Amino acid sequence: MVIRNLYTLLLFLLSPVLLFTLYKKKAGKPSFGPRWKEHFGITPPLKNQSQRPIWIHTVSVGETIAATPFIRALKQQYPYTPIVISTTTSTGAEQAAKLSDIAEHRYMPIDFPFAIKGFLRVIRPQSMLIMETELWPNTLYHVAKFGVPITVINARLSERSALRYQKFQPIFNLLAKSLSQVLCQHRDDAERFIRLGVDPTRVKITGSLKFDITVSEESLKAGAQLRLLLGRKRPTWIAASTHQGEDEQVLDAHKLLLKRYPEALLILVPRHPERFDDVYKLSTSTGFTTQRRTDTTEPSLKTQVYLADTMGEMLTLIEAADICFMGGSLLGDKVGGHNVLEPAALAKPILIGPSYFNFSDITNNLKNQNSLFIIHSPEEIYEKIDWMISNNISHELGLKSKKFIEKNKGTVKKTVKLINEVI
């Protein structure tokens, strides 16, 4: 109790900074509008209150996308049970809205006791499922006290995060008490949770939900149509989910590529929508003929950089390319990489920087398939792309990625089966 009270006091002291970051207006970031009150437990009732709902927390965009196949499978298993998806961010809410046919969205209350209690009184969930590792002491305590079993699905815990938790072991002990199940992506994740004190009988290995990625015919067709629009025969690569500090390196690599292949095209996809304008200015000021996806005029063969300034189209954009560089990986230890399964599922060879600790298992497995390559500089990006183009082997390498994904599917089915135990 003392530890949790001290934590709550610290959270109150830090809340002005946290709230400023959460509500700060940025270009391309959806507004919370009057729904900001939901963060403080002023939560409207669900439209469907026929039964106590299943509560799934997915934090933001990436987690919501990854959880989508599971959420749809869960709805098939429990067609008459309401599902509520909570996210913290407004961009996550925008993504969750795409599941409005099977679930309702509410904003996740901030980890203040009064906010959590307010949410629970209105929503009255029968089970809470947390995507990956979004663990908050007050939330877990009050949800468990309310009699709601808590399962962490698709759980992952890097060595770096485990060492951080160890520094605050008493707080992690509070978290561990409240967890009914921890369904881990990999054996390494499971071992770290157990090492930190989670009851081994509550820890299971299911694999990654992200392997069960479904590429719709609509995405494939849209990608093929986009490629025709951009130019079928020209060498085309994509830099996906780039961060500030990486765009410059990607553009430097593209400059080298254009010297060898003047007709080459880069599809550039910044990770955060608030950076679209800045990246466009960077590209044009660097001398590239740049076309925004939202422009009404069609790109021409003179277009050198195609800036994807939209959300929710990653599969379409990757499908339109031959080779994929995955961002968040050239910035030291700041980000730790992004999910490489989407390009793998689309049979694309993958380049990634040396910092990929958030996805080390998947990245290393694809590296062992010789379909993913670790690069350290713009020059290495250029050299690998040049090697693939000149030897005409990008499709062959990409097929190795796709075969690996197909071999590891089945996590959704395993997870739904284990969730049956707590619903």
Using a CB cutoff of 8 Å and minimum separation of 24, what contacts does 17-22 make? 18/110, 19/110, 22/88, 22/89
HSE of 285 in the Cβ direction (CA atoms, 13 Å)? 8
Look up residue 114 and give its two tokens: 């009064």
Q: Are 268 and 305 in contact (CB under 8 A)?
A: yes
> Could you tell me which of 11, 123, 4, 114 has the C-alpha nearest to residue 57?
123
Look up residue 386 and give its two tokens: 């040049």
Handedness of CA 231, 237, 238, 242 (dihedral sign): negative
- The per-residue DSSP string of 312-331 comes to S-HHHHHHT-SEEEESS-SS
**Residue 144 and residue 138: Cα distance in Å, rounded?**
10
**Residue 283 and residue 251: Cα distance in Å, rounded?**
7
CA angle centred on 384, ends 380 and 389, rounded to 5°: 145
Q: Is 379 an active-site residue? A: no
Which residues are marked as active site? 63
